[in-house]
């Protein structure tokens, strides 16, 4: 049984490789065949304080990278090679599990702060000053200053205009990785993602064109693109 499965996996990989390693639906059968080792690795961390969708997304991305770099001349089977690449899932979980350990009340305040800042940025077109934030949230100036200092790297990353990096995604492997994080995105993130790359029947648009098409502010488009870019970096793209 194991040998037949290995032969079938190799047959799927050979067909995909001979076709030029296409993205999308033509990769799907091969990825479905790899769900055994992927599920096994994801289940190892089902109790970890990290969103299961994030773990699975990273595992799928690693599997795609493995399929693109697989060399049958090395002697390993396709599934064995993919399983070896999935070892990186552990590092991903260890890196991100501290996010789940933020005290509930602190996490709530962080969420309120970010949401208020984003809403005010959308309305005004620029990030609000600390006094305006304090008035909006009903917090003290000291608390706003402390929150801004703690979250400064994150705020800079999420609110600064992003270069058109998403529009530069060209390789088949990179597009495949994006395909497997698509389901993790919110509805607005999916639309920005699709318009940025011209996927799923959408025209390929600039950030300004996306802003007009979706009737959302340019800063919000930039933040969403920044979030997607962060997901790409986490998955090695």
pLDDT band at 145 (very low <50, low <70, confident <90, very high): confident
- Cβ atoms of 184 and 228 within 8 Å: the answer is no
The CA-to-CA distance between both ends of the chain, in Å, stands at 35
Residue 86 CA to residue 175 CA, distance in Å, equals: 19
Position 80 pLDDT exceeds 80: yes
Architecture of domain 102-159: Orthogonal Bundle (1.10)
Position 28 pLDDT exceeds 80: yes
What percent of the chain clears pLDDT 90, i.e. is strictly above it? 6
Residue 38 CA to residue 59 CA, distance in Å, equals: 6
pLDDT of the residue at 14 = 92
Average pLDDT score over the chain: 77
Q: What is the domain partition of the chain in residue ranges?
A: 2-99, 102-159, 166-234
Position 156 pLDDT exceeds 50: no
Helix ranges (H only) for 19-125 are 28-33, 35-43, 52-69, 78-85, 88-96, 104-124
Summarize the confidence of residues 162-190 as an average pLDDT. 62
User: What number does CATH give the domain 166-234?
Assistant: 1.10.10.10
**102-159 and 166-234 share one fold:** yes
Half-sphere CA count of 150, side-chain side, radius 13 A:
12
């Amino acid at each position: 049984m194991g040998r037949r499965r290995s032969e079938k996996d190799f047959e799927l990989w050979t067909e995909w490789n001979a076709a030029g390693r296409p993205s999308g639906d033509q990769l799907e059968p091969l990825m479905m065949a790899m769900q055994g080792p992927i599920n096994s690795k994801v289940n190892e961390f089902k109790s970890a304080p990290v969103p299961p969708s994030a773990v699975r997304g990273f595992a799928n991305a690693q599997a795609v990278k493995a399929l693109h770099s697989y060399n049958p001349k090395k002697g390993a089977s396709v599934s064995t090679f993919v399983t070896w690449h999935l070892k990186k899932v552990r590092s991903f979980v260890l890196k991100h599990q501290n996010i789940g350990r933020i005290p509930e009340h602190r996490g709530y305040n962080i969420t309120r702060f970010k949401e208020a800042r984003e809403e005010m940025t959308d309305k005004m077109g620029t990030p609000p000053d600390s006094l305006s934030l304090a008035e909006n949230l009903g917090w003290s100036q000291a608390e706003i200053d402390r929150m801004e200092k703690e979250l400064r790297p994150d705020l800079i990353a999420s609110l600064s205009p992003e270069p058109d990096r998403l529009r530069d995604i060209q390789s088949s492997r990179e597009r495949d990785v994006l395909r497997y994080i698509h389901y993790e995105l919110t509805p607005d993130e999916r639309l920005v993602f699709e318009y940025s790359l011209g996927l799923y029947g959408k025209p390929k648009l600039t950030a300004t064109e996306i802003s007009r098409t979706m009737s959302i502010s340019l800063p919000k488009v930039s933040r969403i693109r920044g979030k997607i870019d962060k997901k790409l970096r986490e998955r090695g793209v």
